[in-house]
């Protein structure tokens, strides 16, 4: 119970910071829009790095890593051919599946989505993530032969 409180208090605080910072960046973006699109992107990035909690950033780094792995696998498949097609599929769908599951975890643990996921606490979301990942890897190792 106390741990939950610990978790919930920073999340609420971050959400408040999110709203304030986003409104601040909104004004910044509004002033920047007419000039050039790069400032918008820079604003997005600045906004992101300021408002996102540390754990979510960690998840995002993992997501980026998965994207890179998937792209590399696909590029290799395109270059070298797909002879053991099941091996390619197993590896590629492992990255895609893991990406999707991690993105789900990110969405579920995002405090802004709390109203959507009434019955899914962040701990529950993590347990779900572990459960799904285990199944995914079982299927993949079975499929790769």
Partner 1 sequence: MSSMEALLKDESTRNVRRLLKVLILITIAGAAVSSRLFSVIRFESIIHEFDPWFNFRASKYLVKNGFYNFWDWFDDRTWHPLGRVTGGTLYPGLMVTSGAIYHILRMLSMPVDIRNICVLLAPAFSGLTALATYLFTKEMKDESAGLLAAAFIGIAPGYISRSVAGSYDNEAIAIFLLMFTFYLWIKALKDGSAFWGALCALFYFYMVAAWGGYVFITNMIPLHAFVLVLMGRYSPRLYVAYTSWFALGTLGSMQVPFVGFLPIRSSEHMAALGVFGLLQLVGFVEFVRYQVPSRQFKTLLKALIFIVFALSSAILVLLTVSGVIAPWSGRFYSLWDTGYAKIHIPIIASVSEHQPTAWPAFFFDLEMLIWLFPAGIYMCFSTLQDQHVFVIIYGIMASYFAGVMVRLMLTLTPVVCVSAAIALSNILDVYLSIKTPTTPTVGASSADDRKEKKPRVNILSAGKDSIVGIYSKASNIAVIAAFSIYLFVFVLHCTWVTSNAYSSPSVVLASRLPDGSQHIIDDYREAYYWLRKNTPDDAKIMSWWDYGYQIGGMADRTTLVDNNTWNNTHIATVGKAMSSREEVAYPILRQHDVDYVLVIFGGLLGYSGDDINKFLWMIRIAEGVWPDEVKERDFFTPRGEYRVDDAATDTMKNSLMYKMSYYNYQSLFPAGQAQDRVRNAKLPAVGPTLSILDEAFTSENWIVRIYKVKDLDNLGRDHVSAAAFGAGKKKSKKTKAGKGAQRKLRVV
Rule CB under 8 A: which residues touch partner 1? 22, 26, 29-30, 33, 40, 43-44, 47-48, 85-86, 89-90, 93, 96-97, 100-101, 103-105, 107-108, 110, 112-113, 116-117, 119-120, 124-125, 127-129, 131-132, 135-136, 139-140, 142-143
Identify whether the C-beta of residue 136 lies closer than 8 Å to the C-beta of residue 98. Answer: yes
Q: How far is the CB of 71 from partner 1 (least distance, A)?
A: 15
**Closest to 11 (Cα-Cα) out of 70, 55, 65, 74:** 55
Q: How far is the CB of 116 from partner 1 (least distance, A)?
A: 5
Distance CA 128, CA 134 (A): 10
Q: How far is the CB of 79 from partner 1 (least distance, A)?
A: 18
Residues in the chain: 145
CB nearer to partner 1: pick between 6 and 23: 23
If you search the block for the tokens 């797909």, which residue do you land on?
82
CB nearer to partner 1: pick between 6 and 82: 82
**Closest to 102 (Cα-Cα) out of 130, 68, 121, 123:** 130
């Amino acid at each position: 119970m106390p741990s939950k409180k610990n978790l919930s208090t920073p999340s609420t605080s971050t959400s408040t910071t999110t709203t304030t910072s986003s409104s601040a960046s909104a004004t910044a973006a509004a002033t920047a829009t007419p000039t050039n699109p790069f400032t918008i992107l820079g604003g997005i990035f600045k906004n992101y790095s300021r408002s996102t909690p540390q754990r979510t950033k960690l998840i995002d780094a993992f997501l980026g890593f998965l994207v890179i792995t998937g792209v590399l696998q696909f590029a290799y498949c395109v270059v070298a051919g797909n002879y053991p097609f099941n091996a390619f599929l197993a590896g590629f769908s492992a990255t895609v599946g893991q990406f999707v599951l991690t993105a789900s975890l990110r969405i579920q643990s995002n405090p802004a989505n709390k109203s959507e996921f009434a019955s899914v606490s962040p701990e529950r979301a993590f347990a779900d993530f572990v459960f799904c990942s285990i199944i995914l890897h079982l299927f993949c190792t079975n499929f790769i032969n």
